[in-house]
Amino acid sequence: MAANPLVNAPARPGPPLWLLLELTYRCPLHCVFCYNPTDFARTGAEIGTDDWLRVLRQARALGAVQLGLSGGEPLARDDLEPIVAEAHRLGFYSNLITSGVGLNDARLRALKDAGLDHIQLSFQDSTQQMNDFLSSTRTFELKSTVAALIKQYDYPMVLNVVLHRLNIDHVEEILEMALRFGADYVELANTQYYGWAWHNREQLLPSRSQVERAEQTMKGFRERVGSRMQIYFVVPDYFERRPKACMNGLGSIFLTIAPDGTALPCHAARMLPGLEFPNVRDSSIEDIWYGSASFNHFRGDAWMKEPCRSCPEKARDFGGCRCQAYLLTGDPANADPVCDLSPHHHLVTEAVVRAERPVADDPRQGPEEKPLVFRSARNSSRLFPSRDEN
């Protein structure tokens, strides 16, 4: 009884193939581009080991197979090893996504014994100075030591470097550093503007020429080193004309569990207004994935507005990112303004134009209009005072 042939009722979705556990929001680093919510300090208490183990069993039974262990810094949880062991027993492919802080020889041995499959190590820059500035810590040397340790334990070495205005001109040096460490994969992840990165967007968004130079450098490097080091370049979507197929559509393959047990169709989705996301303390993963209103909300395309609803490309990009639509336009059902068919596209192009101002020689003392805000519990509480402090 489809009244409108252009609107597809959501079919029963496939399983949540990708499970991301954000084990904690605690983190020894204070990165200015972190995607964690800026109000993380008021998140409820972390769920316990038994809760995480139950989530693993229930999600695996539905067909989840890729497991991300992230945060915050997942090593801040002292039950990471039993969580990894259970994931291994269940047949997950486990990925530890870490700053490296807390990863010593004893812990790496225990994680290896538990069956951890892969470690992705983040760097903030190729220089100690900028790495330590961006994370507001002294961690560059430590990360270098951890990189060697990861090799020693025969893991594929995957480095992740988030790129933005303050380090994107160092792509050559970053790739040289990765080669020196013997990296198998390098992810050059242009900043996505959510959480702390959104708060700091004006100071982090690179100029178009910076992005183009970085991409050229990356391509030249790729040709030179061949296949011994694979380089991924996560496209900076502000410079595109079509949006990314974010999460392959919400509720399609990704399931995130936040530190307090809230289940989300994307790690940033808690910001979306009008949706009550379920908690793994109260509901099974099956009920959450297939039965909850919030997970069903953005499935299919009945929620779409024009120009998406009648757009032939809606099956390819699902209208882009709901969180980006909300952050930029105030309505998560709007087209992602990255799309040049969006009536709000000017919000993106204006930000890009503002980013054309000269990049300071020393960006730490640049003529930026407002200071960078570092991710910390203190800054989070300052931005979002809890009710009893009011």
Partner 1 sequence: MNQPVVDALSRPAVARGFRLQWEAAQNAHVLLYPEGMIKLNTSAGEILKRCDGATTIADITVDLERAFATSNLSEDVIRFVAFAVEKKWLQIPS
- CA distance to 92, 169, 174, 219, per residue, from 212 (Å): 38, 10, 16, 11
Q: Which residue number, 227 or 390, has a Cβ lying nearer to partner 1?
A: 227
Token pair for 168: 């994107």
Q: Which residue number, 155 or 196, has a Cβ lying nearer to partner 1?
A: 155
Q: Tokens 């490097």 identify what position?
A: 221
380 CB-contact burial (10 Å; exposed 0-12 / middle 13-18 / buried 19+): buried
Segment (H or E) for 175: helix 171-181
Q: Using N-to-C axis directions, what is the helix angle for 128-135 and 140-152, rounded to 10°?
A: 100
Q: Which residue number, 157 or 204, has a Cβ lying nearer to partner 1?
A: 157
Question: 3, 5, 50, 154: which one contacts partner 1 (CB under 8 A)?
Answer: 154
Q: Count residues near partner 1 (CB under 8 A).
A: 22
Whether 262 and 292 have beta carbons less than 8 Å apart is answered as no
- CA distance to 140, 151, 215, per residue, from 182 (Å): 17, 8, 21
Query: Please, what is the minimum distance in Å from the beta carbon of residue 158 to partner 1?
Result: 5
Q: Which residue number, 66 or 376, has a Cβ lying nearer to partner 1?
A: 66
Q: Which residue number, 62 or 245, has a Cβ lying nearer to partner 1?
A: 62
- According to the binding rule CB under 8 A, does residue 75 interact with partner 1? no
Query: Please, what is the minimum distance in Å from the beta carbon of residue 187 to partner 1?
Result: 9
- Region near partner 1 per CB under 8 A, out of 148-156, 170-178, 258-266, 299-307: 148-156
Question: 51, 184, 202, 313: which one contacts partner 1 (CB under 8 A)?
Answer: 184
Residue type at 332 in one-letter notation = P
Residues from 81 through 140 that contact partner 1 (CB under 8 A): 91, 93, 95, 117-118, 120
- Region near partner 1 per CB under 8 A, out of 41-49, 222-230, 273-281, 354-362: 222-230
Whether 164 and 204 have beta carbons less than 8 Å apart is answered as yes
- According to the binding rule CB under 8 A, does residue 379 interact with partner 1? no
Question: 1, 2, 3, 228: which one contacts partner 1 (CB under 8 A)?
Answer: 228
Query: Please, what is the minimum distance in Å from the beta carbon of residue 18 to partner 1?
Result: 8
CA 101 from chain centre, in angstroms, equals 18
Question: 155, 198, 289, 295: which one contacts partner 1 (CB under 8 A)?
Answer: 155
Q: Tokens 């995480």 identify what position?
A: 52
Question: 4, 12, 224, 226: which one contacts partner 1 (CB under 8 A)?
Answer: 226
- Strand (E) positions, the chain? 18-22, 66-70, 93-98, 118-123, 157-163, 185-190, 230-234, 254-257, 263-264
Q: What are phi and psi of 3, to 5 degrees?
A: -70, -40
Q: Which residue number, 95 or 262, has a Cβ lying nearer to partner 1?
A: 95
Residues from 284 through 323 that contact partner 1 (CB under 8 A): none
> Which residues bind to partner 1, rule: CB under 8 A?
15, 17, 62-63, 65-66, 68, 91, 93, 95, 117-118, 120, 154-156, 158, 184-185, 226-228
